[in-house]
Structure 1
Amino acid sequence: MTTAAALVEVEPGGMRELHWHPTTDEWQYYISGTGRMGVFAAQAAARTFDFQAGDVGYVPFAYGHYIENTGDEPLVFLEMFRHPRFEDISVMQWMANTPHEVIADTINVQKSIVDGLPNTKQVVI
């Protein structure tokens, strides 16, 4: 079995940006701190989970999710994948690289807002 992993540290008040993994499920192991994860599925189904050190999280393949630090110390966790390569798609990067008129019309905002989105991935914000 081949695996890929990422060690993520999120400062208090920060979050792991809304994203999804196009290749496989994600397993998480929480090392320190406290956090909350929102997971989004098809047909407007969403769940929220709270985590602390020693907990294990799971996100099914291609489900959108974010993780925020809810404590006053760094949130540290390990993301693990049963795949030879770590891959993710950030919602901001995806929107910034889609025709801006399409995004603005779809989410009903001014095009200038979409024009200001970063077109490079910001894993932790």
Structure 2
Amino acid sequence: MSAGGDPRDRGRLVELVSQQLVGSERLMVGLAWLSPGEVHLLHHHPHADEWYYIIRGSAQFTIGDEVIRGEPGSALWIPTAVPHRIHNDHSRETLEFLWGFDRPRLDSVGIVWEE
């Protein structure tokens, strides 16, 4: 599955826990990868909080007005409606991270592209 549905958006993701897969009623969890140079475009979710946990690689994460270097072991919180973006600015390593929402389905999260 592509990262976000916009053809300019990059990355790959899989759902691990969701209403569709396991009957979850309150959360969704997945795994994602961004290859070197790929960008998950600036966007926000009007109906859900989101989080990331970096497993491998590093990248530049923009969350609201803050730019953060995410590295293995970093946990990042994105409150509802806060714009966020990921740029794997590393030249050789794929970024691998867990992601999750406080909603059980992607169609209940909403996505508003900002770039």
TM-score with structure 2 length normalisation? 0.68
| Structure 2 unaligned residues grouped into runs of 5+ | 1-24
Q: Does residue 1:76 correspond to 2:96, yes or no?
A: yes
TM-score with structure 1 length normalisation? 0.63
For residues 18-77 of structure 1, give each alpha carbon's deviation from its aligned partner in whole angstroms, at most 9, with x where no partner exists.
11112121111111100111122xxxxx11111111110111111111011122210011
- Secondary structure of the structure 2 residue equivalent to 1:54: coil
Large movers: runs of 4+ above 4 Å: none
What percentage of residue pairs aligned between the two structures are identical? 31
1-side partners of 2:89 and 2:112: how far apart? Answer: 21
- Secondary structure of the structure 2 residue equivalent to 1:58: strand
CA contact (8 A) 2:46 2:112 kept: no
* Residue correspondences, number: 88
CA contact (8 A) 1:17 1:90 kept: no
* RMSD (CA atoms): 1.8
Q: 1:90 and 1:14, CA in 2 relative to 1: closer, same or farther beyond 3 A?
A: farther
Question: Which residue in 1 is equivalent to 2:86?
Answer: 67
Q: Which structure has the greater CA radius of gyration?
A: 1
Give the drift of 1:90.
4.5
Q: 1:76 and 1:88, CA in 2 relative to 1: closer, same or farther beyond 3 A?
A: farther
| Structure 1 unaligned residues grouped into runs of 5+ | 41-45, 96-125
CA contact (8 A) 1:3 1:84 kept: yes
- Secondary structure of the structure 2 residue equivalent to 1:27: strand
